[in-house]
Chains A and B, each alone.
Chain A
Amino acid sequence: MTAQIRDLSALRACLTEWLPAPVAGEQVRRILAQIIARDPEAALRLIDQELNAGHADLVGPEASAELIRELVPSSPERANALRAKAVALWPAHPAVCCAAAELAAAQADWTEALASAEHALTREPRHPAALRLAADAQGELGRTTEAVARYAALLEVDRSPNTAAAVMARLDRLVDAARERFEWPAGFGTARVAVIGNITTNFLVQALRAACLIEGWYTRVWAGGFDLYRQELLDPASGLYTSDAQVILLVLDWRELVRMAYRANLSSDPASVRTQIDAEVDQLTALLSQFRSRSQASVLVTGPISPSQTPLGVLDAAHERGLEGHFAYLRTRLGEKLHPIGGVYVQQTDRILSGVGKQVALSAKMDYLARMPYSPQGLDVLARDMASFVRQARGKSKKCLVLDLDNTLWGGIIGEDGLSGIKLGPDGVGRAYLDFQHEILRLHQQGVILAICSKNNEQDVAEVFQKHPHMVLRPEHFAAVRINWQDKPANLRALADEINIGIDSLVVLDDNPVERGAIRQLVPQVLVPDLPRDPVDFPEFLRGLTCFQSLQLTEEDLQRGRFYADERRRQILQKQAGSIEEYLAALEMVVNIRPIDDFTQPRIVQLINRTNQFNLTARRYSETDVQRMRWSADHFVFSLGLEDRYGDNGIVGVAILWLTAADDRPRAAIIDSLLMSCRILGRNVERAFLGYLAEFAARLDAAYIEGQYIPSDKNAQVADFYPRHGFAVIEPRGSMQRWRFACRDARIERPPYIRILDGSAAVS
């Protein structure tokens, strides 16, 4: 019978004798795919035949697209003819658009290639092949900025190490060719990273660079030699130092370091296993202390992975010679010894891998053949955690979570389903929303500012907050609310203004993909993660969101939520009070200015690196820098704390002052840095601070106090800060503008309604 089957229609007819029609059609397409891969000529004859006979459904857009791609290199004319037919039949199908784009790319018609790829993306915004074609085309057309953003989007959907390697190599060529004569996309930064350790690092480096790009960081990575990390850490001439990396990843295979722990058996003496652990941890501590004494780079050390199988089985945990006990000891020791060095962090590698499971994350094959124990999936989760560390070490985290309401905080639509109809409560899917709200509350308690942006009726929403028995979030948790029918991008800009933070600090959670797309398009600085489609996945999704995480969690972070609640009450008072002066007087402000100490140092470092708007010079200093200034005889670092009748705002201001040399006449005090948290602006606290600094300088016998202003993207509001306070202009230095004030002869009037506690009197 086979001899009679001359075309696909006949094949399908034959199969439908035994199979239902859709299944038969599916089988025909499978066979066609095989023919395309093996014999494109034959496939073209078969497909042409069916298309001419009007059996387009039998062929389908995917097979046509596949064949076009096969034909592109060998016979572009025939590929083009088939493309014309396919485009006529399925004009918007992503696979067909991609095939058309590939054909155009092969002929170096990049404008056409980009148009076709964009066409595919309008239908399917995360289509990997279309993203890659569009990015390639944009790169060729010199549109580097857009290409970078597109490649980042591609890596997010295609996480294979092979794509990562190819994309990063291509991106490097683009960036090098553009020689930085282009703008990074909104929210992108660059970082120098070094990877060292005792495994083969090449595979990890590729996954890491891809993961960093997804996080918005273009990285250059210096990779150390296999098992050379000790020498590299110790030798100041090594590439580790000369690479000038800002972040170091020390990737350790602990099996090589604490062999006794991994190979322990019933006859090994637990004490000697622990002695080996101690010796290794001590050596590592010494190496990293050495390194950190010479470098400010932040270091992440991978932690031990405990074996999922133990020889003793259940007994392992109960027996003093069990394996897990050794690992628990090792983990404790690592934390105890490495964290006090400062700037050194231990990755919880075992926990991170458990997210996908060690059977998936580890590969015996790669372990034995490449001295690299991870599978592609393992590399991916590890790299993502490391990328989050790179982001945090470079000091950027998001500050504010903006929430949609319907189908985000609760299931259903309040305007349609009503108070009793929405899903929120202890049963079924309602419990997922409940847990989701608890996770949001946790973020709030860690200092994340919450806001609402929803297309809704305000009254309906108010009813949910007032009357729904299972609402976890309360109105007082929110710093700002936009419930209206205006477009979300405009609302988000207004929200950022009201809260007084940069719009790039916002993260939006919205169940509606159309809204997400609009926000990404119109306010690309805002991070808009894709919520999972199913609400049962919401809580775990939020637990996995790393963009709010920061390496420093200060007292202020823990209380920031309350600060904003207080702020709303202050605003109510402001509406009641008549003039601004009356309002400020009614606040009963007490300012506490004191020299830096152990308790204030972390917050000072945090403010220096985070404050953008009220920051005269925007100079960023690391913990080490600040430490150095703290102990320097001619530098003075001050923190400013603010209390008022509504509560303690914590530390909200920092100033750094230094004195010119003693033989310098007239001697001057330079205000190197002056910054205030935007939370307390508009209360004249800055005037009190400046007045204090001028008097302090006079006490040190400085004739002048010098103010500096270095313009940045965000600090325009303080451009005239010094002249406004009676400072006289002096010659600028480059982009830095300078003013001075004769602090021995005059005083800066302090606002009468601010009481100043001088913490330095007691100390100095």
Chain B
Amino acid sequence: MMNEALRKLLADVFGVKPEKISERDSHETIPAWDSLRHLQMVMALEQQYGIQIDTEQIANIKSVADVVRLVETARGSGGG
């Protein structure tokens, strides 16, 4: 499930209020989610969580749920 820190990060990326972001959202429901914001989000995730997201994973992110999953696995394998 998505925590508030991640919700705020995505809100900053897409320039919307945090409460507007839910796990059901995707690049189809968030109008600002274009290819540039997509990469901005990747940079922000990498910086905030100290993770590396490779190009294949970047291409596979389509929704907020994907982001949550990605962060969970990356952090899980990194030991918290």
Residues of A bordering B, CB below 8 Å: 30, 33-34, 36-39, 69-70, 72-73, 160-163, 165-166, 169, 200, 202-203, 365-366, 368-370, 375-376
Contacts and interface: CB of A to CB of B under 8 A. Distances in A.
A37 B3 contact: yes
Task: Name A's interface SS.
Answer: helix
Contacts of B5: 37, 69
A166 B12 CA distance: 5
Given A34-B80, A36-B3, A37-B3, A366 B12 contact: no
Contacts of A365: 42, 55, 58
A38 B75 CA distance: 13
Given A200-B36, A368-B55, A370-B36, 14 more contacts: A36-B3, A69-B4, A73-B18, A73-B19, A162-B12, A162-B43, A162-B48, A165-B13, A165-B15, A166-B12, A169-B15, A365-B55, A369-B55, A370-B39
B70 interface: no
A160 B39 contact: no
B47 interface: yes
Contacts of A160: 44, 47-48
A370 B12 CA distance: 20
B26 interface: no
A72 B19 CA distance: 11
28 contacts: A30-B80, A33-B80, A34-B80, A37-B3, A37-B5, A38-B1, A69-B4, A72-B4, A73-B18, A160-B47, A161-B44, A162-B12, A162-B43, A162-B47, A163-B12, A165-B40, A166-B12, A166-B15, A169-B15, A202-B36, A203-B36, A365-B42, A365-B58, A366-B39, A366-B43, A369-B55, A376-B43, A376-B47
Contacts of B11: 166
B80 A162 contact: no
A391 B26 CA distance: 41
Contacts of A163: 12
A161 B5 CA distance: 16
Contacts of A165: 12-13, 15, 40
A369 B39 contact: yes
B9 interface: yes
A73 B11 CA distance: 14
A162 B55 contact: no
A161 B39 CA distance: 11
Contacts of B44: 160-162
Contacts of A73: 4, 18-19
Nearest to A30: B80
Contact of A162 (B4, B36, B40, B58): B40
A169 B17 CA distance: 13
Interface in B22-80: 36, 39-40, 42-44, 47-48, 55, 58, 80
